[in-house]
Amino acid sequence: MSSNIIAVTCVLLLLAGCQDEAVTSTIHKPDNSTDKVLRSERDAMLNTLIQQHGLTGDVLQGRILPAIESPLAQLGMQLFFSKALSGNRNVACASCHHPLLGGGDSLSLSIGVDAADPNVLGHKRLLQGKLRPSVPRNAPTTFNIGLWRQFMFHDGRIAQLEVGITTPDVAYLQPDPLAGGNLVHAQARFPVTSNHEMRGELFDAGGTSQSCRERLAERLGAYGVSGEARLPAAETDYWLDAFRQAYQQPHAPATELITEQTIAAALGEYQRSQVFVNNPWKHYVQGDVAAISEPAKRGALLFFREREAGGYACASCHKGDFFTDEQFRNVLMPQIGPGKGSNTVTAVQQDYGRWLVTQHPDDKFRFRTPSLLNVAMTGPWGHNGAYTSLEAMVRHMLNPFQAALHYDSGQLKQPNIPTEQVAVNLREMLSGNADMAGQAYQEEDVQYLVDFLHTLTDPCVTSADCLQRWIPSGGNSPESVLQARF
């Protein structure tokens, strides 16, 4: 290409980038309909980026996920909301992953077995006394959980292998024979074994993760367990009936039907039914130019454009229709809370992230790139909830180094979160391999990006009415159902 052509192209690009007023042009809708639509220049530029990034708006891409009405998802819903799956019958999965809280808990750091009032959820959920949080990470949303192809958890410690799934119960990269048929089933077997999340200190004390799961199944099935661990007969009758219906085995005995595997499978199907992908951005990608606002379109341009083209290249990690490349990166997230650990005695309240799984030096401080679908509803943000506004989170992603250096722990709404080590830990993170440098950014771009991120919210997740199908109605629920108050 001659230098002349390059110069002309650049001028055109510059003009396009500066264009504020809508210039109209006509292009075909992707659905091949013959009617032409008028689009602004901005829409045309976005359309090009959408093609370049291979976006279709159809994140499911033929994947079959269960309907919430399916018998197994219905059983899973009752289990997900049941406190009977925790050692002291005081925590349910829904205590930390409630549909009305964006599939999370609205806390920076989750509160499990030590809650002051087990039925209180959301901002008002507190630890007993002056306890400091013991769960080191933020609860990710369970919404769209069935769309992950490779990893569960912030550090990916459950992973899809070519054959099978690896979990913390086996050596990394070895298949776990008990992992079940998909990542979500595999994951559902772990929260019940965590002392801080659900198990408590006393249930099946001295037992293994597997024996803990089996004791819980025995409790639900009223076989094996004795004493305080037992459930009232009315409840165990309920479960036997519910499992028989869901698995369509009307005469099977509890010993065969209510096992740690059938429990995890049902929990998995319920969560996999939480598909919330019907957002304005999808409609925009599929041709409805009026689906999102002009400021959001500006944000989209900034999100998808490369740096050289005046954007922030967010999509280099938040890729595709699911907005994640499922890779691990060190983006210098301020390390608040107790931390999950490190290999040094000097580093406290630290979290080595992916390194804890692989022990690979490059993986220190790396965490899985989150999906951004429904991100406006899933705060606080970051693997430890360090940011309590989407705006602050976006500022961090624009310039991680500056944001981390000036991190304001005053934004935390939850009491007693340790933050003493943030500066020390940042120094350690910087000595490693930060995967993102700081970059200068335009002040007004922050709000454009936030506006764009809001277009990724499926209206259903903002509507209690719409979400009602994913919440047990009460009437036909067992006694142990979580009586949530917000």
Count of residues engaged in binding ligand HEC, rule: CB under 6 A: 52
- Give me the least distance between CB of 199 and ligand HEC, in Å please: 10
| Omega within 30 of 0 (cis) for the link into 380 | yes
Sign of CA dihedral 276, 278, 281, 282: positive
- Give me the least distance between CB of 173 and ligand HEC, in Å please: 18
Q: Which of 49, 72, 96, 292 binds ligand HEC (CB under 6 A)?
A: 96
Of 178, 188, 365, 190, which Cα lies nearest the Cα of 269? Answer: 188
The answer to whether 404 and 300 are in contact (CB under 8 A) is no
Residues 253-282 contacting ligand HEC, CB under 6 A = 267, 271
Q: Which of 191, 280, 339, 472 binds ligand HEC (CB under 6 A)?
A: 191
Q: Which of 265, 331, 357, 467 binds ligand HEC (CB under 6 A)?
A: 331
Of residues 36 and 123, the one with the C-beta less far from ligand HEC:
123
Residues 339-378 contacting ligand HEC, CB under 6 A = 367, 369-370, 372, 375, 378
Query: Is 236 a residue that touches ligand HEC (CB under 6 A)?
Result: no
One-letter identity of residue 334: P
Query: Is 192 a residue that touches ligand HEC (CB under 6 A)?
Result: yes
One-letter identity of residue 415: P
Sign of CA dihedral 74, 92, 356, 396: positive
Point out which span in 202-210, 310-318, 414-422, 478-486 binds ligand HEC (CB under 6 A). 310-318
Query: Is 95 a residue that touches ligand HEC (CB under 6 A)?
Result: yes
- Give me the least distance between CB of 2 and ligand HEC, in Å please: 34
CA 306 to the chain's CA centroid = 26
Please tell me what DSSP assigns to residue 439: -
Query: Is 338 a residue that touches ligand HEC (CB under 6 A)?
Result: no
- Give me the least distance between CB of 443 and ligand HEC, in Å please: 14
Which H or E element spans position 328?
A: strand 328-329
Of residues 37 and 120, the one with the C-beta less far from ligand HEC:
120
Q: Which of 153, 284, 407, 448 binds ligand HEC (CB under 6 A)?
A: 153
The answer to whether 152 and 267 are in contact (CB under 8 A) is no
The answer to whether 456 and 372 are in contact (CB under 8 A) is yes
One-letter identity of residue 271: Q
CA–CA gap between residue 112 and residue 197 (Å, rounded): 4
Number of helices (H), then strands (E), in the chain: 17, 7
Residues 443-462 contacting ligand HEC, CB under 6 A = 449
- Give me the least distance between CB of 464 and ligand HEC, in Å please: 21
CA–CA gap between residue 230 and residue 242 (Å, rounded): 18
Q: Which of 77, 225, 398, 467 binds ligand HEC (CB under 6 A)?
A: 398
Tokens standing for residue 382? 């970051």
Point out which span in 30-38, 55-63, 87-95, 476-484 binds ligand HEC (CB under 6 A). 87-95
Q: Which of 83, 89, 97, 364 binds ligand HEC (CB under 6 A)?
A: 97
Query: Is 336 a residue that touches ligand HEC (CB under 6 A)?
Result: no
Residues 16-75 contacting ligand HEC, CB under 6 A = none
Binding track over 198-217 against ligand HEC, x by CB under 6 A: x-------------------
Of residues 57 and 353, the one with the C-beta less far from ligand HEC:
353
Tokens standing for residue 317? 């990690």
Tokens standing for residue 178? 């008990």
CA–CA gap between residue 84 and residue 235 (Å, rounded): 10
User: Which alpha helices (H) appear in 227-348, and where do they start and end?
Assistant: 233-246, 254-257, 260-272, 280-285, 294-304
Of residues 197 and 321, the one with the C-beta less far from ligand HEC:
197
Which residues partner with 330 through β-bridges?
none
Q: Which of 57, 337, 338, 382 binds ligand HEC (CB under 6 A)?
A: 382
How many other CB atoms sit within 10 Å of the CB of residue 431?
A: 9
DSSP assignment of 80-103 equals HTBGGGSTTS---HHHHSBGGGTT
Q: Which of 112, 133, 180, 338 binds ligand HEC (CB under 6 A)?
A: 112
> What residue ranges bind ligand HEC (CB under 6 A)?
85, 91, 93, 95-97, 110, 112, 135, 137, 139-140, 142, 145, 152-155, 184, 187-188, 191-192, 197-198, 267, 271, 312-314, 316-318, 329, 331, 333, 367, 369-370, 372, 375, 378, 381-383, 393-394, 397-398, 435-436, 449
